A and B are shown apart, each in its own frame.
Chain A
Amino acid sequence: MARPEEHDAIVVGAGHNGLVAACYLARTGLKVLVLERNAYIGGAAVSRRLYRDFTYSNCSYVCSLLRPEIIRALELPRFGLQIIPYEGGCTLMGNGDHLAIYENHDALRREIARHSKRDAEAYERYSRDVMRQCKFIKPLLMRTPPDPASFRPRDIRELLFLARRFHGLGEERMYDTLRFWTMSAADFLDEYFESEIVKAHFAGSSIIGTALGPRSPGSAYVLLHHYMGDIDDTVGAWGFARGGMGAVSNALGASLQASGGSIRSSAAVARILVRGGRAGGVVLADGEQIAAPLVISNLDVRRTFLETMSAEDLPDEFLRQVRNFKIRGSSGKLNIALDGLPRFPAIPAGAPCSRGDMHVTDTLEMMERAYDDWKEGRWSRAPYIDMLIPSQLDPTMAPDGKHYMSVFVQYCPYALADGAWTDAKRRQFGDTVIETIARHSPNFKDLILHAEIRTPWDIENEVGLTEGNIFQGELTMDQLLFNRPIPGYAQYRTPVRGVYLCGSSTHPGGGVMGAPGANAARTVLEDLGRAH
């Protein structure tokens, strides 16, 4: 039964972007209700207790990209968000050696020089060039992409802004930027480095969450996407959220409630209502109707339009484009409770380089072959692994003396060539990963108390991300900027007035960044005539 409109806006899904959007709206005095399907908020930014007193960041695991302007504007530290920076990082090699990453510049140089003197020199050039690209892109994250096919003054203004910024780079840098956006990570790294392990280490972030290999053109941009947090001058670098990634969502939730917004969990939205060609509210799975003139969907673009809206409310051409939006599951995740700290003989116990992200790979070729497996519909036989033991720096994650390990795995397909995922296949996938790690840590297997194994299929079912894609859509050139998610609909608005998108399907894409949520809220407020 419909009640009188007591909400100005409904946000569908309490992922971090939904919460960010809700916070910004609530702060202007709008009455905002966030509806979450699960019993807990956070979407893919959650802390779960799935085994005794261990806390798992069981989806996203690193807090690096969250925009500092959002942290400040929503006063997240006041609401309990605390970020503990990594102390280093490393890549473990098959031959027992490793490449360590240090915060200290000279130490890092010495370590790279251990593998190649020339690469230590090249690293200066590399980090300068990457940072330059980051500086160019960073301001674009919090802006609405212009529609190049439009003649509206706003779009033309924004295009000119981009053109001027681009022009400001100077001729040489403009060409570098053009090339950077279009090349493969492998080609990009080949232009700097000779050592396989150095290239493999830096290429890691070009494939995380992505159905591309390091040799796929466009993967250099993905590499950058993960760097975006790196140069952040306030919070700084990559880090863990104290208490797990759920701490981000909880801080956002608290900030929202302090601004007068409300959240209902265990309230799955079945349908977004359209009345007279505009948003009318939502219907929950249990049939309850909630009216509101604005509906902002944090669900990915496919889920929003194909599963929660009726085809008759949307143009055919638009629906065709939605179906063509690429959302591919390519990543798996293991969350492991450990009885103690595993030993990695390659690196000294407790070394700073073990107190950050540890990768397992040797060469670009290994990573590319891992991708070839995915293309054939099987998980990588020698997967790329990005693992962390947050409990080393955050004692709240595991009981005394015990540890929680997050293991991100690339590649793992959503659909297997030989039929559906089964428990047995999931276990085999887990074993592949555990064996890969065990080759670098002799006591690792003996320490395992519990392991949660998550395939893209599991992530889809639990979190609601289509195919378990962590970015709500591939970060390929055809799906970035004004193409994200649909050309002509890249400005958070949809064909239905009053319905907006605020998830990672929109510009600037995924990672726990919050920018899509903030941008969407700004668009909503503009449409309400409440621009800041």
Chain B
Amino acid sequence: MAAADAGGGFDCIVIGGGHNGLVCATLLARGGRSVALFEANDLLGGAAATREFAAGFRVSACAHLLHSMPAALQRELRLQSYGFATAATGMASTALVADGAALAIGAADLAAADAAAYARYDARMRRLAAALAPMLSRAPPRLGTRRWSELAPLLELGWRVRRLGARDMRELLRIAGMNVYDLLEENFESAALKGALALDAVLGANLGPRSPGSVLTLLHRLAGECAAGAAGLTQPLGGMGGLCDALARAARAAGVTIRTSSPVARIEVEADRASGVVLEGGERIAAGAVISSADPKTTFLHLLGARHLDAGFVRRVTHFRSRGLAAKLHLALDRAPQFTGLIPGREAGRLLIAPSLQYIERAYNHAKYGEYSQAPVMEITVPTINDPGLAPAGGHVLSAIVQYAPYSLKGGWELQRGGFADLAIDTIARYAPGLRRSIVASELLSPPDLEREFRISGGHWHHGDMALDQFWMVRPVPGAAQYRTPLDGLFLCGAGCHPGGGVVGAAGRNAARQVLQQAA
């Protein structure tokens, strides 16, 4: 295709049609900007898409549950009016236990001591998370500035933390840097309960339960749940793609020009500011601002190029840790899986394989040395129970996040993908005998597969490790933590920014605000 300027260009170009890109584009368009969004794949949604993985079987290709999308954002986008519907809300979590009754988390089958402790623990963690939750929808503060507006989030956080009262404040300051292993050991007896609660701290993270900082990732998730409001764990109708379809409709309704199958090859720079993009086909589109939902490494090192940035900043971007450790397993089944020891109805919720803290820690040990876990941990859903339309009549889909599966696997994934898939299936079969006989087709997406399919450098769900030194005002790197970048006119709006990954949308929204403020 010949290089062409699409009629004088746009005010804003958004790179990537994942949920953050769509949210950002919609809000920019509603703010009065002319906006074009370019998505490399033929399908919108990025890592929040639903796609077919076996004839007639469809699945949320990456994230499979909604738990942290702020209720305020859903209202602001008017998602319901654009066709967003849920297949299930308030889904329960159940810890699978080999050769025994599964443990419903937070329910009455906790032993007396743990039940009382759980009520106390849960209430306190949610109080602490509630103090942090508003920070998810603010741009992180900048240090060393005298500008009030940029310091305000820091002061606000200080004020919110103080308002917790001395006891809770001290507890927050103590546990924020602590490991979840110790925190749970301080509170509970039951191995299954501790394992299940720890899983939420390490899901998608390069951490084991004993890694300091794992309480912060847990608090971060709880803060997200708090902002998400009453719906709780939610399965969108039609899978995660159902959400993105609604987001796309909202974007189009706001006037966003959306082009799929249009990979951006590079970001154009003129007079030291971003001036547009060039597509892989060679087409050149001008814009006053470019907002990238691609991960930071892709954005800065590949689309922009290090030569436009100073060496110190490039070094920081290079050091951004972004190698994923989570794989995704999809099984097409000819009947519903039968889990042993499960209270009827619970299979419609979230099933966890993380029978103890030691089990998770041992699974993590392997990842440190570039091996996959010999006994992996998992978050499993059977989405077809709540949404039969995802499979042919009578058929079912099992969707599992499987950890740990390091991006840089010794010996490479090509030769070992099958072995790991088998191991994962065997692990589930331990809790669901007969599973193997019901498998029609299977798919395992390792981090390099996710990298290829969704163009996320390192195949990392969060675009980069959620860790204390990559959090908030240092996420993804100092100098780009407020969605602005060192290059005028270039912004970030993806999961590599605060508040990170998961289908949250806050990064897209916060970034849109920065762009609108900047231009105003």
Closest to B312 in A: A172
Interface window among A212-220, A263-271, A381-389: A212-220
CB distance from B206 to the nearest CB of A (A): 9
Stretch of B207-215, B221-229, B290-298, B344-352 on the interface side = B207-215
Kindly identify, within residues 143 to 200 of chain B, every residue whose CB is under 8 Å from any CB belonging to chain A. Answer: 143-145, 162, 166, 169-171, 173-179, 182, 186
Which one of A88-96, A433-441, A481-489, A510-518 is at the B interface? A481-489
Are B182 and A218 within 8 A (Cβ)?
no
Central interface residue in A178, A365, A368, by most chain B CB within 10 Å:
A178
A148:B186 contact, CB within 8 angstroms? no
Question: What is the bound-complex CA distance between A167 and B151, given in angstroms?
Answer: 12
Residues in B with CB closer than 8 Å to A368 are 368-369
| A49, CB-defined interface residue at 8 Å | no
Interface residues of A in 174-199 (CB under 8 A from B): 174-175, 178-180, 182-183, 187, 190-191
Residue numbers in B under 8 Å from A187 (CB-CB): 321, 469
Q: Residue B467 at the A interface, CB < 8 A?
A: yes
Are the CB atoms of A217 and B174 closer together than 8 Å? no
Which residue in chain B gives the minimum CB-CB distance to A488? B170
In the bound complex, CA of A483 to CA of B177 (Å): 11
State A149–B319 Cα separation when bound (angstroms): 35
Specify which of A149, A180, A218, A372 is in contact with B169 (CB 8 Å cutoff). Answer: A149
Nearest-CB residue, chain A, relative to B468: A182
Q: B473 on the interface (CB 8 Å rule)?
A: yes
Q: Tell which of B170, B211, B368, B468 touches A487, judged by Cβ atoms closer than 8 Å.
A: B170
Cross-chain contact of A178 among B175, B182, B211, B474 (Cβ < 8 A): B474
Flag A301-325 by CB within 8 Å of B: 1 or 0 each.
0000000000000000000000010
**Contact residues of A between 216 and 241, Cβ < 8 Å to B:** 216-218
Say whether A286 faces chain B, with CB atoms less than 8 Å apart.
no
A478 engages B178 (CB within 8 Å)? yes
Bound-state Cα–Cα, A187 to B315, Å? 14
Find the A residue at minimum CB distance from B365: A372
A457-509: which residues lie under 8 A (CB-CB) from chain B? 476-478, 482-483, 487-488
* Cβ contacts under 8 Å, B315 to chain A: 191
Number of interface residues of B (CB under 8 A): 37
A106 at the interface (CB under 8 A from B): no
What is the CA–CA distance of A217 and B468 in the complex, to the nearest angstrom? 8
- Give every chain A residue within 8 A of B211 (Cβ-Cβ): 215-217
Q: Which of chain B's residues have a CB closer than 8 A to the CB of A477? A: 176-178, 212-213, 468
Q: How far is the CA of A493 from the CA of B388 in the complex (A)?
A: 63
State whether the Cβ of B361 lies closer than 8 Å to any Cβ in chain A. Answer: yes
Which chain A residues border B288 with CB–CB below 8 Å? none
| Chain A nearest Cβ from B361, distance in angstroms | 6
Q: Kindly identify which residue among B142, B169, B182, B469 contacts A182, using a CB–CB cutoff of 8 Å.
A: B469
Q: How far is the CB of B203 from chain A (nearest CB, A)?
A: 17
Contact B468 A183, beta carbon cutoff 8 Å: yes
Tell me the total A-B contact number using a CB cutoff of 8 A.
96
Q: Are A172 and B478 in contact (CB under 8 A)?
A: yes
Say whether B170 contacts A149, CB under 8 Å.
yes
A170 at the A/B interface (Cβ < 8 Å)? yes
Considering the complex, which residues of chain B in the window 52-91 have a beta carbon less than 8 Å from any beta carbon of chain A? none
- Name the one of A167, A212, A483 contacting B144, with C-beta atoms under 8 angstroms: A167
User: Which chain B residues lie closer than 8 Å to A423 at the CB level?
Assistant: none
**Distance from B468 Cβ to chain A, minimum over Cβ atoms (Å):** 3
Within 8 Å by CB of A476, from B142, B169, B212, B469, lies B212
- CA A180 – CA B178 in complex, angstroms? 16
A31 interface residue per 8 A CB criterion: no
Chain B: CB-nearest residue to A171: B144
Which listed residue, B174, B321, B473, touches A478 by the CB 8 Å rule? B174
Are B170 and A212 in contact, CB atoms less than 8 angstroms apart?
no
Residues of A322-368 at the interface with B, using a CB-CB cut-off of 8 Å, are: 324, 326, 365, 368
Residues of A near B467 (CB, < 8 A) are 182-183, 217
Residue of B170, B173, B369 with highest tally of chain A CB at under 10 A? B170
Report if A450 contacts B (CB, 8 A): no
Q: Are B212 and A375 in contact (CB under 8 A)?
A: no
Q: With a CB–CB cut-off of 8 A, which chain A residues contact B142?
A: 171
A217 and B143: CB pair below 8 A? no
Task: Report Cα–Cα, A477/B215, bound state, in Å.
Answer: 12
Q: Which of A171, A179, A212, A326 contacts B469 (CB 8 A)?
A: A179
Would you give the shortest CB distance from A482 to chain B, in whole angstroms?
7
Q: Is the CB of A326 within 8 A of B319?
A: no
Range class of the A interface residue count: 35 or more
Chain B positions within 8 Å of A149 at CB level: 162, 166, 169-170, 173
How far does the Cβ of B135 sit from chain A's closest Cβ, in whole Å?
16
A372 nearest in chain B by CB position? B365
Cβ-defined contact, B212 with A217, below 8 A: yes
- Over the window 6-22 of chain B, the binary record of Cβ atoms lying under 8 Å from chain A Cβ atoms (1 yes, 0 no) is 00000000000000000
Query: Within the assembled complex, what's the spacing in Å between the Cα atoms of A496 and B321?
Result: 47
Q: Given the complex, which residues of A lie within 8 Å of B162, measured CB to CB?
A: 149
B144–A174 touching, CB < 8 Å = yes
> Which residues of B are found within 8 Å of A171, using beta-carbon distances?
142-145, 478
> Which residues from chain A contact B175 at a C-beta distance below 8 Å?
478
Tell me the nearest residue of chain B to A180, going by C-beta: B469
Contact yes or no, A326 B368, CB < 8 A: no
Contact B144 A170 (CB under 8 A): yes
Determine which residue in A180, A326, A477, A482 has the highest number of CB atoms from chain B within 10 A of its CB, and name it: A477
Q: How far is the CA of A484 from the CA of B144 in the complex (A)?
A: 28
Complex contacts, B368 vs chain A, CB 8 Å: 215, 365, 368
Q: Is the CB of A175 within 8 A of B319?
A: no
B213/A217 in contact, CB under 8 A? yes
A70 to chain B, nearest CB (A): 29
Given A212-B212, A478-B178, A175:B473 Cβ within 8 A: yes
The B324-375 residues at the A interface (CB cut-off 8 A) are 361, 365, 368-369
> Are A218 and B473 in contact, CB atoms less than 8 angstroms apart?
no
**What's the Cα separation between A172 and B144 when bound, in Å?**
8
Please give me the residue from chain B that is nearest to A365 by CB atom.
B369
Cα distance A172–B145 in the bound complex, in angstroms = 11
Residues in A with CB closer than 8 Å to B469 are: 178-180, 182-183, 187, 217
Q: How far is the CB of A369 from chain B (nearest CB, A)?
A: 8
Cα distance, A365 to B371, chains bound together (Å):
13
**A186 CB, min distance to chain B CBs, angstroms:** 9
Chain B residues contacting A365 (CB-CB under 8 Å) are 368-369
Residues of chain B lying within 8 A (CB to CB) of residue A482? 173
CB neighbours (8 Å) of A369 from chain B are 369
Q: Other CB < 8 Å A-B pairs besides A171-B144, A183-B467, A183-B469, 14 of them?
A: A148-B169, A150-B166, A171-B143, A182-B469, A212-B212, A215-B211, A217-B468, A218-B213, A476-B177, A477-B468, A478-B182, A483-B173, A487-B170, A488-B170
CB-based closest 4 A-B pairs: A477-B177, A171-B144, A182-B468, A487-B170
List chain B positions with a Cβ less than 8 A from chain A. 142-145, 162, 166, 169-171, 173-179, 182, 186, 207, 210-213, 312, 315, 319, 321, 361, 365, 368-369, 467-469, 473-474, 478
15 contacts between A and B (CB under 8 A): A148-B173, A171-B142, A171-B144, A171-B478, A175-B478, A191-B319, A212-B212, A215-B211, A217-B207, A217-B467, A217-B469, A324-B182, A372-B365, A487-B170, A487-B174
